[in-house]
Amino acid sequence: MICTILKIAILGLTDALGIWAIVGLGVAGNWFLLATLIIGMGLLNLALLSRRAYPLRYLIPGLIFFGAMVVYPILYNVSIAFTNYSTGHFLSKEQAIAHFQRQYYLPENTESFSYQAFRSAQGDLILILSSRTTGALYLAMEGHLTLLDPKDPRLLYENNQIKAFEGVPPLSTRELVQNLNRLEKLALPYDEGVVRLASLREFKVYKPRYQYDPDKDTLTDLLSGKVYVPKEGSFTSEDGESLDPGFRVYVGLTNFVRIFSNRQITGPFFRVFRWTFLWAFLSVATTFCLGLALAILLNNPYLRFRYLYRTLLIIPYAVPGFISLLVWRGLLNTNFGVVNQILNSLFHIRIPWLQEAFWAKMALVLVNLWLGYPYMMIVCLGALQSIPSELFEAAYVDGANRWQQFKKITLPLLLISIAPLLVGSFAFNFNNFNVIYLLTEGGPPIPGTQTSAGATDILISYVYKLAFASGRGQEYGFAAAVSIIIFLIVGTISALNFRFTKSLERMSEGL
Amino acid sequence: MYRRPGGLTKLFYHAIVWAMIAFAVFPVVWIALASLNPSNSLYTSGIPKKIVWEHYVELFSNPHHPFGLWLWNSVKVAGISSLFIVFLSALAAYAFSRFRFWGRRTGLLALLLIQMFPQMLAMVALYLLLLNLGRYIPWLGLNTHAGLILVYLGGALGFNTWLMKGYFDTIPHELEESALIDGATPFQAFVRIILPLARPILAVVYILSFIGIYSEFILASILLTGTKAYTFPVGLRLFITGQYSTRWGTFAAASILGAIPIMLVFLSLQRFLVSGLTRGAVKG
Amino acid sequence: MRKFGLAVLPVLLMGMLGLGSVPGKLIVWCDETRAPIMQELAEQFTAKYGVPVEIQELGFGDIRDRLGIAGPAGEGPDILIGAHDWLGQLVANGLLEPLDFMADIKDQFVPVAVEAFSYGETIYGLPYATEAIALIYNKDLVPEPPATFEELIEIAKELTDPEAGQYGFLSNIPQPDPYHSFPFISAFGGYVFGKSMDGTLNPCDIGLDKIGALQGVELILRLVNEGVLPPDCDYATMTGLFNEGRAGMILTGPWAVGDIRKAGINFGIAKIPTMAGNTPRPFVGVQGFMLSAFSENKALAKVFLEEFVATKDTMLALYQRDPRNPAYLAALEEVSSDPVVQAFAASAADGVPMPSIPEMAGVWVAWGDALQLIVTQQQDPASALKDAVARIRETIGCPGL
In chain B, whose CA is at the least distance from the CA of A459? B118
**Cβ–Cβ under 8 Å, residues A198 and A144:** no
- Least CB-CB distance to B245: which of C11, C35, C255? C255
Rounded mean pLDDT of chain A?
Answer: 84
C297 touches chain A (CB under 8 A): yes
Residue C3 has pLDDT above 90, yes or no: no
Ordered domains of chain C (ranges, CATH) = 9-131+284-353 (3.40.190.10), 134-281+363-396 (3.40.190.10)
Contacts of A230 (CB under 8 A, 6+ apart): A93, A217, A219, A236, A247, A249
**H/E run at residue B94:** helix B67-98
A2-81 has which fold?
A: Methane Monooxygenase Hydroxylase; Chain G, domain 1 (1.20.58)
Q: B242 and C59 in contact by Cβ < 8 A? A: yes
Chain C contact set for B54 (CB, 8 A): none
Answer whether residue C250 shows pLDDT above 90.
yes
Give the architecture-level CATH label for domain A262-509. Orthogonal Bundle (1.10)
What pLDDT score was predicted for residue A281? 94
Give the minimum alpha-carbon distance from B211 to chain C in angstroms, rounded to a whole number.
Answer: 24
State the pLDDT at residue C285: 92
- Over the stretch A458-488, which tens digit does the pLDDT of each residue have? 988 888 888 888 778 788 888 889 889 989 9
A-facing residues of C in 220-259 (CB < 8 A) are: 230-234, 236-237, 241
* Predicted pLDDT of residue C292: 94
Q: What is the pLDDT of residue B90?
A: 92
Degrees (nearest 5) of the Cα angle C108, C109, C113? Answer: 160
Give the residue on A whose Cα is nearest the Cα of B239.
A323
As a whole number, the mean pLDDT across chain C is 86
Residues of chain A in contact with residue B31, where contact means CB-CB under 8 angstroms, are 319, 323, 327
DSSP B192: I
CB contact under 8 A, B244 and C253: yes
* Residues B44 and C244 sit within 8 Å (Cβ to Cβ): yes
Phi-psi region of A299 (alpha: psi -120 to 50; beta: other; left: phi over 0): alpha
Neighbours of B159 (CB within 10 A): 22
Nearest to C114 by CA among C303, C310, C344, C317: C310
pLDDT tens string C293-321: 999 889 899 989 998 899 998 899 888 87
| Interface residues on B facing C, Cβ-Cβ cutoff 8 A | 39-45, 64-65, 124, 127-128, 131, 134-138, 141-143, 221-222, 225-227, 237-246, 248
For residue A420, give the amino acid letter. P
User: C184 near C216, Cβ under 8 Å?
Assistant: yes
Question: How many inter-chain contacts (A to C, CB under 8 Å) are there?
Answer: 165
Task: Give the three-class secondary structure for C291.
Answer: strand
Q: What integer is the mean pLDDT of B237-241?
A: 73
Q: Per-domain residue ranges for chain A?
A: 2-81, 104-208, 262-509
Residues of chain B with C-beta less than 8 angstroms from the C-beta of A54 = 99, 186
Say whether B214 and A327 touch across the interface (CB within 8 A).
no
Q: What is the mean pLDDT of residues B172-201?
A: 84
Q: How far, in Å, are A335, B103, C371 from residue A353 at the CA level?
A: 10, 49, 18
A13 vs C: CB within 8 A: no
Chains that touch B (3 or more CB pairs under 8 A): A, C
Cα radius of gyration rounded to whole Å, chain B: 23
Inter-residue long-range contacts of C47-51, CB under 8 Å, 24+ positions, other chains counted: C48/A174, C49/A173, C49/A174, C49/A177, C49/A178, C49/C303, C50/A174, C50/A177, C50/A178, C51/A177, C51/A178, C51/C24, C51/C25, C51/C26, C51/C300
> Are A263 and C394 within 8 A, CB to CB?
yes
CA of A201 vs chain C CAs: smallest distance (Å): 10
Q: What is the pLDDT of residue C15?
A: 32
pLDDT > 90: what percent of chain B? 15
So what's the pLDDT on residue A284? 95
Is A494 in Cβ contact with B113 (below 8 Å)? Answer: yes
Strands A202-208 and A210-213, sheet pairing: unpaired
User: Which pLDDT value is given to residue B87?
Assistant: 93
Residue-wise burial string across A483-510, b where 16 or more C-beta atoms lie within 10 A, e elsewhere: bbbbbebbbebbbebbeebeeebeeeee
Chain A residues within an 8 Å CB radius of C49: 173-174, 177-178
How many whole angstroms separate alpha carbon C228 and alpha carbon C221? 10
Distance from CA of B179 to the nearest CA of A (A): 18
What three-state secondary structure class fits C181? helix
Tell me the pLDDT tens digit for each residue of B249-266: 788 888 889 888 888 888
Q: What fold is seen in the domain A104-208?
A: Periplasmic binding protein-like II (2.40.430)
C-alpha span between C236 and C228 (Å, rounded): 18
What is the percent of chain C where pLDDT is above 90?
41
* pLDDT, tens only, C339-390: 888 899 889 888 888 998 888 888 988 999 999 999 988 889 999 999 999 9
Strands C26-30 and C79-83: parallel
3-state helix, strand and coil shares in percent for chain C, rounded to the nearest 5: 50, 20, 30
Q: Between chains, do C60 and B248 touch, taking CB under 8 Å as contact?
A: no
How many CA atoms are closer than 13 Å to the CA of B127, on its beta-carbon side? 25
Interface partners of chain A (CB pairs < 8 Å, 3 or more) are: B, C
CA distance A336 to A327: 13
Tally of CB atoms within 10 A around A331: 23
Provide the residue-wise pLDDT of chain A in tens; the chain has 511 residues: 677 788 788 888 888 888 887 887 777 666 777 777 788 788 888 877 777 777 888 888 888 889 888 998 999 899 889 998 888 888 889 989 998 988 888 888 888 888 888 888 888 888 888 888 888 888 888 888 888 888 888 888 888 778 888 888 888 888 888 888 888 888 888 888 888 888 888 888 888 889 898 888 889 988 888 899 988 888 988 888 888 888 989 988 988 998 888 877 788 888 899 999 999 999 999 999 999 999 888 888 887 888 788 888 888 988 888 888 888 888 888 877 888 888 888 888 888 888 888 999 999 999 999 999 988 888 888 778 777 777 777 877 887 777 777 777 788 888 876 787 888 888 889 988 889 988 888 878 888 777 888 899 998 888 888 888 877 878 888 888 988 998 999 889 888 888 877 755 655 454 3
Q: Which of A180-189, B43-52, C12-21 has the highest mean pLDDT?
A: A180-189
Q: Report the pLDDT value the prediction gives residue B45, as an integer from 0 to 100.
A: 55
Q: Residue range C277-282: average pLDDT?
A: 92
Instruction: Verify cis geometry, omega within 30 degrees of 0, for the bond prior to C176.
Output: yes
Q: How far is B226 from chain C (nearest CA, A)?
A: 6
Any chains having at least 3 CB pairs less than 8 A from chain C are A, B
- Residue C39 amino acid letter: Q
Closest CB from B3, B126, B207 relative to A69: B126
CA dihedral B38, B40, B43, B49 (to 10 degrees): -10
CB-based contact (8 Å) between C365 and chain A? yes
pLDDT over 50 (residue C13): no
Range 273-292 of C in CB contact (< 8 A) with A = none
Residues within 8 A of C (CB atoms), A 449-478 only: 449-452, 454, 465-466, 468-474
Compute CA distances A270 → A266, A423, B247, whole Å. 8, 22, 40
For C68-109, how does the pLDDT look when each residue is reduced to its tens digit (9 = 90+)?
Answer: 888 888 888 999 999 998 998 899 888 999 998 898 898 999
What are the Cα distances from residue B197, in Å, to A188, A386, B272, B276?
A: 76, 10, 10, 9
What pLDDT score does C14 carry?
Answer: 33
What number of residues does chain C have?
Answer: 401
pLDDT exceeds cutoff 90 at C57? no
CB contact under 8 A, A476 and B124: yes
Summarised one tens digit per residue, pLDDT across range C225-237 is 998 898 888 888 8
- In terms of Cβ atoms closer than 10 Å to its own Cβ (0-12, 13-18, 19+), residue C79 is buried
